[in-house]
Amino acid sequence: MAEIIVPGPLNLIENPSVSSQEIGDCSEPPLKKSKIDVAEEQGEDLEQRLNEILCCSVCLDLPVNLVYQCVNGHLMCAGCFTHVLADARLKDEQSTCPNCRCEIGKTLCSRNLAVEKTVSELPSLCEHCSCKLPRNVLEHHQRSDCPQRTVKCAYHSIGCLWQGAHCESSDHEKECEFPQKSGAEVLETVKELSQGFKEEIRGYLNIVNLLSFEKIAFTDLQLRPYRTDDFITKLYYETSRFTSLNQQWVLKARINDSERNPLHSTNRHLTYQMILKSRVNNPVTFHFMILSGPFTDIKVKPEVYRFEFSGDRSESPLQLMPLVNPADGNKLLAAKTINVRLIMFQVQK
């Protein structure tokens, strides 16, 4: 009777002539990565390389909106670009590219539209739900569509302090106790919340009342930079002499008047004062305010100041130019001149 040979690992074990190396060669090969896994890894690697290539050369982050480049092609986001120009203005130096040290400026640099469009298509994680979306739709998603975005209770105007994810707000509002409270219980909270609105309305009503004055003047001005001859030079801005309401004036401004060195602060604010150049025999009182001028994208809150000018009091105190966005202080410094619109109201006696 013929011997039956059983194939497979049992025969290899029973046969002492087969080496362990030969046994190892018969093991199954490792599983290959699927095409989807390989594509995902390649996509993440490409995304990382693009992030490194297209990042701002100053802050090393991907630009949010506008992208500027020097003559050699080095990229800067809009915020860093204006900050570099502002620092150079304060130092009284020529602004240079942080990479190649070539001269940069509003007219020497250009926007890179290709990079702006490329960055807007790159994916980024939502800070609330961590889903990956293109950057050009991410802001709208985080503001309006994300179910995990932080929202206030619908009854926050009557005192409810709850804040949480949008997907949980409906459950909270069903159990919120504030709708059942009486008017007397929420009265104090409503008064505190409405106080800010009253102050804002009072300011606008003051401007409306001033518009009924007989003597009103609107003047568009340019503030130009200049420096003092002191040991520690300081940066000032000043207009040329102009005529308004039958008087000669000069508008003077400075950056961070309360600080000795504005370079030590990243937030720059502008203060200004009215200087009467005409001689007056009797005191005259004026209301005045500054707004953003033509050909500028800087927004200013309307704030009215009052001062009585006389022969020995020809300069008003320094008053704050209230910017809507504090970051616009660097935009003011980055520009060669600051365009403002001055509105003056003369008080009749």
- Are residues 221 and 326 located together in one domain of the fold? yes
Radius of gyration for the chain, computed over Cα atoms and rounded to the nearest angstrom: 34
In sequence order, which residues have a C-beta less than 8 Å from that of residue 102 and are 6 or more positions away? 70, 71, 72, 96
Kindly tell me the sign of the dihedral angle through the C-alpha atoms of 200, 202, 204, 210: negative
pLDDT tops 50 at residue 18 = no
Number of structural domains (the chain) is 2
Q: Which of 121, 152, 167 is the last residue in one of the domains?
A: 121
pTM of the shown model: 0.72
In this structure, what token pair is assigned to residue 18? 């087969």
- Are residues 115 and 226 located together in one domain of the fold? no
CB atoms within 10 A of CB 76: 26
Any idea what DSSP says for residue 3?
Answer: P
* CATH number, position 260: 2.60.210
Nearest to 303 by CA among 318, 317, 323: 323
Q: Which of 75, 102, 121 is the last residue in one of the domains?
A: 121
Contacts by 251-256, CB closer than 8 A, 24 or more apart:
251/221, 251/223, 251/275, 251/340, 251/342, 253/223, 253/321, 253/338, 254/318, 255/90, 255/329, 255/332, 255/333
Is there a domain that residue 235 lies in?
yes
In this structure, what token pair is assigned to residue 181? 């409270």
CA distance 262 to 91: 10
Is there a domain that residue 207 lies in?
no
Is there a domain that residue 146 lies in?
no
Q: Which of 121, 149, 174 is the last residue in one of the domains?
A: 121
Q: What is the pLDDT of residue 71?
A: 94
Is there a domain that residue 318 lies in?
yes
Q: pLDDT digits over 55-100, tens only? A: 999 999 999 889 999 999 999 999 999 999 998 988 888 999 999 9
Is there a domain that residue 107 lies in?
yes
Cα distances (Å, whole numbers) of residue 46 to 42, 130, 138, 298: 6, 20, 20, 38
Kindly tell me the sign of the dihedral angle through the C-alpha atoms of 142, 145, 147, 149: positive
Q: pLDDT digits over 106-138, tens only? A: 889 999 999 999 999 998 899 999 899 999 999
CA distance 286 to 345: 6
CA distance 238 to 223: 5
CA distance 330 to 308: 32
Lowest mean pLDDT among 73-77, 152-156, 258-262: 258-262
Is there a domain that residue 143 lies in?
no
pLDDT tops 60 at residue 37 = no
Block residue for tokens 């200004």 = 272
- Are residues 105 and 227 located together in one domain of the fold? no
Q: pLDDT digits over 198-224, tens only? A: 888 888 899 999 999 999 999 999 999
Is there a domain that residue 15 lies in?
no
* CATH number, position 115: 3.30.40.10
Domain containing 313 equals: 214-346
Is there a domain that residue 127 lies in?
no
151 and 164 Cβ atoms separated by less than 8 Å? yes
- Are residues 113 and 219 located together in one domain of the fold? no
